[in-house]
């Protein structure tokens, strides 16, 4: 399968009052054409920072380095500001977490939907509007023609998110980054929006990086999954393999936390992972999950683990010395 995005050893550092925060500490990931990659992790694990780095939307003070950040053969980091603007919006676009505040209150939806395609593809206003109406309809917005002249405050949160999804699709991008697009919505709307993103992704063959903290969401839509912890990918696999056979203790812990209807006793305490995420300010040695891990040894504190490939399937990688030890035994 052809890769649309390939990232090697991505690092994002943010200067803070207490020292440098190493928000993303060497991430490797790739996205194939037309596939849905889910990045899962808890708050502060660097998943949003990763998406901002990919879009080139990090705050100015953030320092970003990577061995490679290839998008369809282009090195994103060496592009000029103008070239980057061409790629962003036209070939990769973004769906945001907050539909209530992500649209400009002062301009009509039509204006905001069309401005990107008019700039990037030089379309006439009429042609751009036609496409906007078509996509609004596809995104399940009722009365799409009427919406073009409406303002964001006239729509509900769910409808606004549909508009933002349509907006992300305007220029037929190759890659959409969706940063927790359902978190701010009601549960019933969440399910609709998830289904919509999945449907449109398959219909248009767009690759999607879907960022979420919700493994339930991952199970429903992902082709592949990358689990992030403390600024690193700790496990990556196809969705099937990950749910059938989670290898990393953190992934296993996360899956244990999900209550299963019929199995989990009502009223009983839900499982949790003890301890807290370590501070990522300053240099960090050893495995970041060591202090919360059930299988950690003294070795884990000293050596920073690398991603190891599971022998039976090259697509399944895990960052844990204890688990990779078992790989060697198996071979």
Partner 1 sequence: MLVFVTRRLLVALSVALTVSIVSFLLLHFSGDLATSIAGPDATAEQVEKIRVEFGLDQPIVEQYFHWLVSAVQLNFGRSYYFQDTVISLIRERLPITLTLGGLALGLAILVAIPLGVIAAIKQNTWIDRLALSFAVIGQAMPSFWFGLTLIIVFAVNLHWLPAGGNSSWQHFVLPAICLGYYAMPAMMRLTRTGMLEVLNSDYIRTARSKGLNESTVVLKHALRNAVIPVVALAAVELGFMLGGSVIVESVFSLRGLGQLAWDAISRNDYPVVQAVVLIIAVFYIALTFFADVLNALLDPRLRVR
Q: 70 - beta bridge partners?
A: 6, 75
Ranges within 283-312 binding partner 1 (CB under 8 A): none
Using the rule CB under 8 A, is 88 a contact of partner 1?
yes
121 binds partner 1 (CB under 8 A): no
Binding status of residue 115 toward partner 1 by CB under 8 A:
yes
- Under DSSP, is residue 209 helix (H, G, I), strand (E, B) or coil? strand
What is the C-alpha separation between 81 and 84, in angstroms, rounded?
5
Piece of 113-121, 230-238, 255-263, 286-294 that binds partner 1 (CB under 8 A):
113-121
Across the chain, the runs of DSSP E, i.e. the strands, are 3-16, 19-32, 36-40, 63-65, 68-71, 74-75, 92-95, 175-179, 207-212, 224-229, 232-238, 308-309, 317-318
Smaller CB distance to partner 1: residue 149 or 264?
A: 149
Which tokens sit at 181?
Answer: 């697009």
How far apart CA 248 and CA 326 sit, in angstroms, is 12
Residue 155, helix vs strand vs coil: coil
Stretch that binds partner 1, among 62-70, 78-86, 208-216, 290-298 (CB under 8 A): 78-86
Contact between 243 and partner 1 by CB under 8 A: the answer reads no
Burial (CB count within 10 angstroms: exposed 0-12, middle 13-18, buried 19+), residue 80: exposed
Query: Is residue 68 a contact partner of residue 79, using CB atoms and an 8 Å limit?
Result: no
Among 153, 263, 265, 269, which residue sits at the site for partner 1 (rule: CB under 8 A)? 153
User: Which burial class, exposed, middle or buried, applies to 193 when counting CB atoms under 10 A from its CB (0-12, 13-18, 19+)?
Assistant: buried
Q: 16, 63, 86, 306: which one contacts partner 1 (CB under 8 A)? A: 86
Q: Any contact of residue 206 with partner 1 (CB under 8 A)?
A: no
**Angle of helix 125-138 versus helix 109-121 axis, rounded to 10:** 120
Out of 32, 85, 192, 245, point to the residue binding partner 1 (CB under 8 A).
Answer: 85
Q: Does 61 bind partner 1 (CB under 8 A)?
A: no
Q: Is 94 in the site for partner 1 (CB under 8 A)?
A: yes
- Nearer of residues 167 and 288 to partner 1, judged by Cβ: 167
**Minimum separation from the CB atom of position 310 to partner 1 (A):** 36
d(CA 14, CA 59): 9
| Contact partners, residue 200, CB within 8 Å, separation at least 6 | 138, 139, 165, 169, 206
Residue ranges of the alpha helices (H) in 3-76? 47-55
Q: Interface with partner 1 includes 87 (CB under 8 A)? A: yes
**Among 169, 191, 167, residue whose Cα is nearest residue 103:** 167
User: Minimum Å distance from CB 28 to partner 1?
Assistant: 24
Q: Could you say whether residue 90 binds partner 1 (CB under 8 A)?
A: yes
Among 71, 96, 210, 250, binds partner 1 (CB under 8 A): 96
Q: Applying CB under 8 A, does 98 fall inside the site for partner 1? A: yes
| Contact flags string 247-286 toward partner 1, x per CB under 8 A | ----------------------------------------
Q: Of 50, 93, 182, 317, which lies in the binding site for partner 1, with binding defined by CB under 8 A? A: 93
Residues engaged in binding partner 1 (CB under 8 A): 55, 57, 84-90, 93-94, 96, 98, 101-107, 115-116, 119-120, 151, 153, 164, 167
């Amino acid at each position: 399968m052809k890769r649309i995005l390939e990232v090697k050893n991505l690092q994002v550092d943010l200067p803070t009052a207490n020292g440098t925060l190493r928000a993303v500490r060497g991430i490797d990931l790739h996205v194939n054409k037309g596939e849905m990659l889910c990045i899962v992790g808890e708050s502060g694990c660097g998943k949003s920072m990763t998406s901002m780095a990919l879009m080139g939307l990090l705050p100015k003070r953030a320092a970003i380095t990577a061995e490679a950040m290839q998008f369809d053969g282009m090195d994103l980091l060496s592009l000029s500001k103008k070239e980057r603007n061409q790629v962003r919006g036209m070939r990769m676009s973004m769906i945001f977490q907050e539909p209530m505040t992500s649209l400009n209150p002062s301009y009509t939806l039509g204006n905001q939907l069309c401005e990107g395609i008019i700039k990037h593809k030089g379309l006439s206003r009429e042609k751009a509007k036609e496409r906007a109406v078509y996509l609004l309809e596809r995104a399940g917005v009722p009365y799409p023609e009427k919406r073009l002249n409406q303002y964001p405050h006239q729509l509900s949160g769910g409808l606004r998110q549909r508009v933002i999804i349509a907006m992300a699709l305007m220029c037929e991008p190759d890659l959409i980054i969706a940063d927790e697009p359902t978190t701010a919505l009601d549960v019933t709307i969440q399910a609709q929006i998830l289904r919509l993103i999945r449907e449109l992704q398959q219909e248009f063959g767009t690759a999607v990086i879907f960022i979420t903290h919700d493994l339930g969401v991952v199970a429903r839509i992902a082709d592949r999954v990358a689990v992030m912890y403390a600024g690193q990918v700790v496990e990556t696999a196809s969705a099937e393999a990950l749910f059938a056979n989670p290898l990393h203790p953190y992934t296993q812990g996360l899956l244990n936390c999900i209550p299963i209807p019929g199995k989990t006793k009502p009223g009983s305490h839900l499982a949790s992972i003890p301890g807290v995420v370590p501070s990522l300010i300053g240099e960090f040695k050893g495995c970041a999950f060591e202090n919360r891990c059930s299988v950690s040894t003294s070795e884990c504190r000293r050596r920073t683990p690398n991603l190891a490939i599971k022998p039976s399937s090259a697509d399944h990688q895990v960052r844990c010395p204890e688990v990779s030890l078992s790989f060697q035994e198996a071979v």
